[in-house]
Chain A
Amino acid sequence: MRSGERGERPVSAASVTFLGMPATRPFPRNAARAVRDSQLRFNLRKATRTIRARRASVVAEVPDWAALRDAGRAIKEHTLRNLDRYLLQLEEAVTAAGGHVHWAADAAEANEIVAGLVKATGETEVVKVKSMATQEIGLNEALLEYGITAYETDLAELIVQLGDDRPSHIVVPAIHRNRAEIREIFAGRMAGWGRPAPEDLTDDPAALAEAARLHLRERFLKTKVAISGANFAVAETGTLVVLESEGNGRMCLTLPTTLISVVGIEKVLPSWRDLEVFLQLLPRSSTGERMNPYTSMWTGATEGQEFHLVLLDNGRTRVLADEVGRQALRCIRCSACLNVCPVYERTGGHAYGSVYPGPIGAILTPQLRGMSSELDRSLPYASSLCGACYDVCPVAIDIPSVLVDLRARSPHPWPERAGMAAAGWVLRRSGRLARMQRIGGRLRNLAPRRLPGPLAAWTDTRDLPEIPPESFRDWWDRTDGGRR
């Protein structure tokens, strides 16, 4: 990986951080394929419009939303600034409450720790609460190598797991599937994983939810080990917080005798009181509800359970070192930026080639993973810079600014650099510009619609604007501002 020019900060370090999916083709090629899938576009359009309207209405009814957002931003900023202190405080509080704390520098280490903890219980099956951190480290695949089967229990994760599919959204990983597709997956695949779907399964959402309930019920009642993430971890008290809707989270957090929570180091909050801010910001931004159906909070080993907390770095400290990009660590994974993004709405999440899609993914993935692959270099361009993501972000992450910063630091091909250097030379002096404009005006009928060679990449996606016969300045001089 080449570092930026003239003392710019390099984005990548020596090692490549694993982010749950292999980085393959660049975003534009993935996007071009995705937008041709009319079913996908229909599903996404319907879903994102529904959620946007819901979010807007529940946010509008909170008179102090702007103040909550400002507090949310500042709490996260302050936490990150003092992250070492708060992590140690969290460790101490969890340990004092009977929990065990483990530290994982990268995905491989986190997977190894979790596999070791599961093996120590003698169990070969675990139930999982939906968690981005465990998606990120590819925990399910890693556990399989140790002979441990992980069962996803969130409805959307179940759809993804049964369909041998990949998640495409942070909160609703199966957002790209409609009810008819979900019915097909349930009817065809449930039997291979446990209790089969009912014979007469319809595509009514209530019937699909019932099928998931029946399919997982036995599993919840008998499984001894659960793995979760956490939305927040309070340093002051050692309390972990999980927000969910279905009750699958409560089942996993409550019934098994061993609970392992894998939590990114940026999830820590300084004080118990800070929850009064985030419990208002997150549900409204995320699913557009005043409050999500269930939130569980527990401190250390609870009700006789054995509890392990795995604190995960996996590239986060590298993001923390970046003056502009570190604000991405404020993210509370609400997905509001995905739901409003015109690019995400058209391409869906798979095009981003990461478990973190959408605008936040476009800034988080290249920072966590580095910009060594073509895909990761292309992600900062997966945006029109319209700024809708910034407007809805409950912790005010200025995503457009980070995108622009990352664009400046990603390596650019020589024709682009040559073109920009030439443009810079022309624009630096007004006389030069005027001369070039006159030449351009005279030769305007000769301007090609499509540029040759590698420059075609530019004209393939852009129309050449109409070149006027003379510049505005020349027109003004000739006509004395229209008076002659």
Chain B
Amino acid sequence: MSRSRDLILARVRAALAGVPDVEIPRAYRGPSETPPETPSATPSETQGEIRLFEERLRDYRAVVHVVAEAAVPERVARSLAERGARRVAVPGGFPAAWPAAARAELVADEPPLTAADLDALDGVLTTCAVAVADTGTIVLDAGPGQGRRALSLVPDYHLCVVRAGQIVAGVPDAVARLDPVRPLTWISGPSATSDIELNRVEGVHGPRTLEVLIVT
């Protein structure tokens, strides 16, 4: 194998002899100077981002609710009841108060559930690491309340709780905040395909229903 390594590197070097380098112009909008949850962000700016995020999510046919912190347990209970979810996975580190009012059985991933176990669940509750208003994207990084990647993939229903302070304006803001060492999953709406006549159809292998609670 190392022979091919040397061969490829030698070919690359031979191909590049005398080729000049180029400057990278970064005239595009980079990460914002002030992250929105810092006091310097004005309330109207934050409000605008929440509204945009909500609108983009609805474009992907995700279900969205904007709720106050105190109303989260009731909203979670109602969403799970409306869905008819009886057994849902709850990753370690998910705030205990939020699913407290739910009548569904809460299943921990300890010891790790098998793929078949996950497939038998009705849904999963998670938090997120960051959310992008401009593209309606939620990013999970396997941190507290998010669990390993399979947890938010195999069950057919994903309820994600996003705190308003986690919503950033654009993609560059999210990239700047994320840690590449962690496994990252960027989610923009429910699973979908454009493979049949290039029309978007929601619902293939990932969760077919994505419900998002934005906590203000």
Contact = CB atoms under 8 A, between A and B. Distances in A.
B134 A250 contact: no
Contacts of A237: 180-181
B16 A83 contact: yes
B116 A109 contact: no
A113 interface: yes
Given A295-B186, A321-B14, A213 B7 contact: no
A341 interface: no
B188 A175 contact: no
A375 to B, nearest CB: 25
Nearest to A155: B195
A266 to B, nearest CB: 10
Contact of B205 (A70, A220, A295, A320): A220
A358 to B, nearest CB: 15
A389 to B, nearest CB: 18
Given A51-B198, A82-B21, A247 B26 contact: no
A254 interface: yes
A247 B12 contact: no
Interface stretch (B42-50, B75-83, B91-99, B169-177): B169-177
Contacts, number: 246
A47 interface: yes
Interface in B123-162: 132, 134-137, 142, 148-150, 153-154
Contacts of B26: 67, 71
Contacts of B194: 51, 172, 245, 287, 289
A254 B150 contact: yes
A250 B24 contact: no
A interface bracket (residues with beta carbon within 8 Å of B): 35 or more
Nearest to B153: A250
A221 to B, nearest CB: 4
A239 interface: yes
A302 interface: yes
A290 B52 CA distance: 13
Contact of B1 (A43, A102, A175): A102
Contacts of A289: 188, 194, 200
Main secondary structure of the interface of A (DSSP, over half): helix
Contacts of A205: 196-197, 199, 201
B204 A294 contact: no
A189 to B, nearest CB: 16
B188 A246 contact: no
B4 interface: yes
A290 B5 CA distance: 38
A11 interface: no
B11 A317 contact: yes
A142 to B, nearest CB: 17
A221 B115 CA distance: 6
Interface string B95-125: 0000000000000000000011001000000
A78 B22 contact: yes
A26 to B, nearest CB: 29
B187 interface: yes
Among B9, B15, B153, B195, the one with the most A-chain Cβ atoms within 10 Å of its Cβ is B195
B28 A64 contact: yes
Contacts of A239: 180
Among B24, B148, B153, B186, the one with the most A-chain Cβ atoms within 10 Å of its Cβ is B24
* CB-based closest 7 A-B pairs: A247-B206, A317-B11, A247-B205, A321-B15, A246-B204, A295-B186, A276-B172
22 contacts: A43-B197, A103-B1, A103-B4, A155-B196, A156-B195, A182-B196, A206-B201, A213-B203, A221-B154, A237-B180, A245-B192, A246-B193, A272-B175, A273-B175, A290-B59, A291-B137, A293-B60, A293-B189, A294-B186, A295-B186, A296-B184, A313-B8
Interface of B: 1-2, 4-5, 7-9, 11-16, 19-31, 56, 59-60, 115-116, 119, 132, 134-137, 142, 148-150, 153-154, 171-172, 175-176, 180-181, 183-207
